[in-house]
Structure 1
C-alpha cells in the first residue's frame, strides 16, 4: 500500500539532516525575499523618476547623497535673506526639512517641522508673476529615506536571530537524539554498586531476551531512579548501561526542558518520549532529574510553567500513551526535591541508592586508578584505602591524579606512598599555602592550643584515629587536625554523636582553659557542632528530654513549632559536650602543653605524638577515662 503523502513528509522531517536542511531553507528564503523586495523598490523608484532630467538633477543628487545639504543646517533667517536677494536656485520640500540650493552653489537645510515654512514659500511663488526660484516636492528613493532606515547588515542579523530563535519551537525534538557513546565502559569496569548493577543487568536481560520474562508474566520496571551523593558513580553506571544494553540509548538532562518561550518545555517532553517510542526498544536516561521533577508553589508565571512541565512528564511516564519497550533511567543527588507522584509505583518502580564504596571497593578503586599511572611496587593499598574512608570514587580518582602531579613536581619517576598520602591530606584538609605570611608568635601558640585540643579529646574519646596535627595554613584554616574514622559505619549511637560534639568544641575549650580567652577560630567548629545537635534533636530523638517527635515530620504536617524551644534543646546538647571537653582538657593540661611545645617546634606532627604522650602518663589517662565515663 502506498504511503500517504502527509505521513511521508512527517517521516522525512523527523530526520536530523532534513531538519537542518529545512532550517537553512527557511533562512535562505527570508534572505532572498528581502533582497528581491529591495530590488523591486529600487526599480520602482527609477521608473517613477521624471522625464526631464535637467529639472530633477538637484533632486537626484539629494537622493543619492544628501550629506552636502544635511551637514550644513541653517536657521530660517538665512533662507528668507537668500529669497529677498534672489540667491535661491531651487528648494526641495522634504518631510521635515527643506533642501535649499543657492545660485552660488551653497547647499544647506532648513528645519520645517510643521510645514509652515513650505506654505510661506509656496504663497510667495504664486503671488509673483514670474517665479523667483524653482520649488518642488522631494521624492527620495526607498533605500534612502529622509526618516532614515536600518542598515542592511542589521536587518539580516535580526532576520537570522529570529529564525534561529523560532526554529526550536517548530522542531522541539531536535534537542534529544540518539547519543553514540564511543566509551567501552562495561559493568565489570564499575567497581562496587552491586545492587545498582544487578538492577541494570535485569533491565538489559529483559531488553535482549524478553521471552524469559513473558513466560512468567513478569513485567519489568518502567523506571529506575538512582540516588546517592555526588561522585558515587550514577552517571558511570549509565555509561556502562549504554554499552551493555545493545539497544537505542537516548540521553537527556533535567535542565534541557527549560525554555524562555511559554509552552516550549512541554513540547520538548512530548518530543523526547515520541522519539523514544519510535526507537523502541530504547533506554531513556535523564541525568539530574531534580531539575525537571520539582514542583513549586505558583508564586510567579514561570513557576506555573515548570509545574505544567512536570505534569506532562508524569503523563508521558504512565498515561494513555503506550510506552512499551521504553525504559526510563534517572539519576539525582536531591531525591527529596522530586514530586511524590513521580516516585510512585508504575512510574519509577524502583529506587536504587548508590552507596559510598566499602573498604574492599576502595582497594580495588585505588588499584584501578593507580594502574593507569606509574605506581611504585611497595604501595600499601589497604592502608591507603583506610585513609580514604568516607570518600567517593570521584574523590579517589582525584587523589590518584593529584598524587601523580605531586610525583612529577618532585621529579620522581614513580608514584610513591608519600605522594598518595599527601594527596589524601590535600583532599581532606586542603593544600598547604606556602606563600601565606607566617602568623605572630601569639597567634601560632593559640592555633597550636586549639588544634591539640581537638586531637587530645579525640584520642581520649576514641572518635577515630588521630593522623596528623599541623599549624600550617591549609585552605581557609589556620591549622588542621586530621582524625580518620576507624571503620565504615552507617549507624551512629547517641554516645558517638555526643563525643563528636565534644571533639568539635574541644578546640574552643582548650583556648578557654589554657589561654583564658576564646577567639574567632572556632566559628567553623561551632557551625558543625550545631548541625550535629540539630539533627539529634529534630530527626534522631536524642534531645536531653528524650522527646520522640520528629520536627521534620511536624513541618511536613503543617504543625507550628517554636524555634525557641528547639534552640534551647540544641543548646543543652552543646553545653553537655562543651563541659565534657573542658573537663578532659583540665585533667590533661600537662599533656596538652607538652604536645603544644612539640607542635610549635616542628609545625606538623603525627598522631603518634598524642598517643605517646598519653601512654607516658598512664595514671592520668586512666583517671581521665574514669571521670569521662562518669560525666557520660
Structure 2
C-alpha cells in the first residue's frame, strides 16, 4: 500500500500529534459525558447552595469577623451556613447574609467543633466549592503551563529528529543523463554491482565498500552522479547535507545521525548521499561547548559507519569541494574506501552539454557548438548551463524570437569577464588612453608568448573592470610547464609594464594583475620547485609536518622571480612597441579589437624588433618601475586564465595545477 504523501518521512511528528489529539478527546468525553441522574437536594441548605452558585454577592457585601459568628452560634440565630474553600457563608433567621474570611481553615474548624458539641436542633450546614467537589483537572490547572511546555518540547524534538525523506528505487537520473565525468562513472560501476547484489560479495568473502567520496570543483556534477548511481543500482536514495546535523540544541545532531542510518537500514539497499560533507568538519580541542557537540557528532558518525554490516546494502556517498577539511578518521580505509575525482568536461563533453541545454530553449538552427566548446575551456557543466540560460535571457531582452550565435557569444563573454554595465560615467581622455595602453600590453604579450587564444580586447567596462583582455586556453591541460607559468606571469605584468613604458609611472589598475601573478609565483617557489634559487622544499609539506618556518625566504624568492619576469616583460614590450602603438590607437578609435588584429599587428613587425634584448629598455623606465601612481583607476582588470594555478596542492598529485 502506498504511504500518503503527508506521512512520508514524517511518521514521528504525525504520531505525536495524533496521540495528543487522542488524549484531548478522551478528557473532553470524560467531562462532557452524561452523568447518572441523582436525587436533587431539598431544604434550606439546598436553597442556600443554589443561591451561592448563582452569585456570592449578597454575602460578599456584608463582611463580619469571628466574634459575630461566635455570637450568632451561641444565640442560635443562624438559619443555615456553608463552608467554602476560603470563607464561611451564613444566613440568619432575620434574612441577613454575611461571610467570614477563612484563608487558613480555622474558622471552619471552630464552627464544626461547636456544631458537633451543640445540643437541640442543629441548623443546616453545607459544603460549597471545596477541593472534594472540584474536577480532577482543576487540581492540575496550575501546572498546565509546565505541562504544555514539556509537550511542546517533546513535539519539537520529535520533529527535529524525524526520519529523513527517502526516494525509493532511484531518483529518475541515470548515467546516460550525466554528460562527461567518464572516469568517475567508470569508477562507480563496481559500486553499482555491489548495491544490486550485495550477497554475491558476501558469499565470496569480499568486503564491499562502505563509503565513496566524490571530490572536484563546484558545479562538476557530483550531485547528479550520486542520483544516477541510485537509479542505476535500483536503490533507495537519501540526500542530506553536512550542515543538517548542526543544531543549537544539545544532542539533536547525534539523534539525527542515528535516525539517518536507522532509516537507511530499513530501506536497504540504500544510498546515503551527504552533499558538502566537509560541513561535518574535523574534531578539535574542546575549547568551546560547540566544539564538544561537533566532536560528538563526528564520533557518532564514525560509530555508525563501523556499526553496519558490509552486506547490509547501505552505502555512504559523500561529496565535497574541500577534501582536506575532512577528519582523517572519516576518510580512512574501511569507512570511505574510495575517493573519486570528478574532473572538468573535455571538448566533446562541452559540445554535448551545449547541445543538451540548447535543446531546452528556442535556439536558432546552425549554431556552431564546436566553436562554443572551444571557447569554454575549463568551465564546469554548471557554468555551461548558466551560459545557455543567459543567452536565452539576452535574446528575450532584445526581443528576438530565437537564440542565435551572437547571444551565445555574448553570454560566454559575460561568464568569463562579467556583465557590461549600463550608465557608466564617461572617463577622461587621459584615463581612457591609459586603459587602452594597459589592455594592449596584455593582449600583445599573451599573443607573442602563446599564453592562449586572444579573443578580443576592449576598453569598455565589463563587471568591475574598466577594460578587459579575453584570453582563452587553446586546449584542456592538466600539466603546465615551467616556461608556460613564466609566460603567464609575464602576460599578467604586461599591462603594468605598458603603462610604465608610455607614462613612466604605474596606476592602481594593475592591482588584480599583481595579485594573480603573486599567486603563481608563490606556488612555483613554495610548492612546485620552480624558484630562481633552485629550492625543492615544499612549504605545504612543512605545514603538514607542523614545523615552524620563516616565510621570508620564500617571499624573497617569489619577489625575485617576479622582478626577473618583469624585466623580461619590459624587454618584450619594447620590441613590440610599434604593435603596441597600433593596437592602442585602434582601441581609442573603435573601443573593441578582435584577437586576429592583434596577431596581425605582431606579424607586421620588422625582423630587428624580434632580436632586441633587455638592454634596449630605456633606463628611466627601469629606475621608476616601482613608483605608485595617483590615478583615478580604482578598479582592477579581470582575466580568465583557466585552469589557474593554486597555491595549495591538489589531491591527485603535485602535477595537477
TM-score, normalization by structure 2: 0.72
Change in CA separation of 1:355 and 1:213 when aligned onto 2, cut-off 3 Å: same
Residues 1:236 and 2:230 aligned together: no
Q: What CA distance in whole angstroms lies between the structure 2 residues aligned with 1:510 and 1:205?
A: 60
Alignment of 1:168-187 (within 5 A): 168-170=156-158, 173-179=161-167, 184-187=172-175
Larger RCO of the pair (alpha carbons < 8 Å, separation 6+)? 2
Match of 1:493 among 440, 457, 481: 481
Query: Does the CA contact (< 8 Å) of 1:238 and 1:285 recur in 2?
Result: yes
Change in CA separation of 1:373 and 1:170 when aligned onto 2, cut-off 3 Å: closer
Query: Does the CA contact (< 8 Å) of 2:169 and 2:237 recur in 1?
Result: no
Alignment of 1:79-478 (within 5 A): 163-170=151-158, 173-179=161-167, 184-210=172-198, 213-214=201-202, 216-319=204-307, 324-478=312-466
Match of 2:579 among 591, 603, 611: 591
The alpha carbon displacement at 1:49 in A equals 9.1
Q: What CA distance in whole angstroms lies between the structure 2 residues aligned with 1:182 and 1:325?
A: 14
Runs of at least 5 residues in structure 1 that lack an aligned partner in the other structure = 1-12, 38-45, 60-140, 142-154
Q: Equivalent residue for 2:624?
A: none
Residues 1:574 and 2:562 aligned together: yes
- Partner-residue secondary structure (3-state), 2:273: strand
Match of 1:53 among 47, 50, 57: 57
Runs of at least 5 residues in structure 2 that lack an aligned partner in the other structure = 1-6, 32-49, 64-128, 130-142, 617-657
The alpha carbon displacement at 1:208 in A equals 2.1
Change in CA separation of 1:183 and 1:264 when aligned onto 2, cut-off 3 Å: closer
Change in CA separation of 1:320 and 1:399 when aligned onto 2, cut-off 3 Å: closer
Query: Does the CA contact (< 8 Å) of 2:201 and 2:311 recur in 1?
Result: no
Query: Does the CA contact (< 8 Å) of 2:238 and 2:270 recur in 1?
Result: yes
Query: Does the CA contact (< 8 Å) of 1:27 and 1:160 recur in 2?
Result: no
Change in CA separation of 1:214 and 1:581 when aligned onto 2, cut-off 3 Å: same
Q: What CA distance in whole angstroms lies between the structure 1 residues aligned with 2:505 and 2:610?
A: 28
Q: Equivalent residue for 1:540?
A: 528
The alpha carbon displacement at 1:18 in A equals 5.4
Q: Aligned residues, how many?
A: 514
Change in CA separation of 1:47 and 1:578 when aligned onto 2, cut-off 3 Å: farther
Change in CA separation of 1:15 and 1:196 when aligned onto 2, cut-off 3 Å: closer
Query: Does the CA contact (< 8 Å) of 2:161 and 2:252 recur in 1?
Result: no
Query: Does the CA contact (< 8 Å) of 1:173 and 1:272 recur in 2?
Result: no
Give the CA RMSD over aligned residues. Answer: 3.2
The alpha carbon displacement at 1:215 in A equals 5.5
Q: What CA distance in whole angstroms lies between the structure 1 residues aligned with 2:264 and 2:447?
A: 57
Q: What CA distance in whole angstroms lies between the structure 1 residues aligned with 2:148 and 2:184?
A: 47
- Partner-residue secondary structure (3-state), 1:487: coil
Query: Does the CA contact (< 8 Å) of 2:16 and 2:155 recur in 1?
Result: no
Q: What CA distance in whole angstroms lies between the structure 2 residues aligned with 1:603 and 1:492?
A: 33
Change in CA separation of 1:342 and 1:322 when aligned onto 2, cut-off 3 Å: same
The alpha carbon displacement at 1:172 in A equals 5.4
Change in CA separation of 1:32 and 1:627 when aligned onto 2, cut-off 3 Å: farther
The alpha carbon displacement at 1:53 in A equals 2.6
Q: What CA distance in whole angstroms lies between the structure 2 residues aligned with 1:156 and 1:584?
A: 85
Q: What CA distance in whole angstroms lies between the structure 1 residues aligned with 2:198 and 2:170?
A: 27
Q: What CA distance in whole angstroms lies between the structure 2 residues aligned with 1:256 and 1:401?
A: 31
Stretch moving more, 327-336 or 240-249? 240-249
Q: What CA distance in whole angstroms lies between the structure 2 residues aligned with 1:166 and 1:421?
A: 57
- Partner-residue secondary structure (3-state), 1:377: coil
Match of 2:543 among 555, 558, 569: 555
Residues 1:511 and 2:520 aligned together: no
Q: What CA distance in whole angstroms lies between the structure 1 residues aligned with 2:615 and 2:379?
A: 35
- Partner-residue secondary structure (3-state), 2:188: helix
- Partner-residue secondary structure (3-state), 2:271: strand
Question: Highest CA radius of gyration, 1 or 2?
Answer: 2
1:452-484 deviation digits (Å, cap 9, x = unpaired) = 111111111110111111111111111110011
Change in CA separation of 1:31 and 1:534 when aligned onto 2, cut-off 3 Å: farther
Q: What CA distance in whole angstroms lies between the structure 2 residues aligned with 1:206 and 1:319?
A: 19
The alpha carbon displacement at 1:326 in A equals 0.8
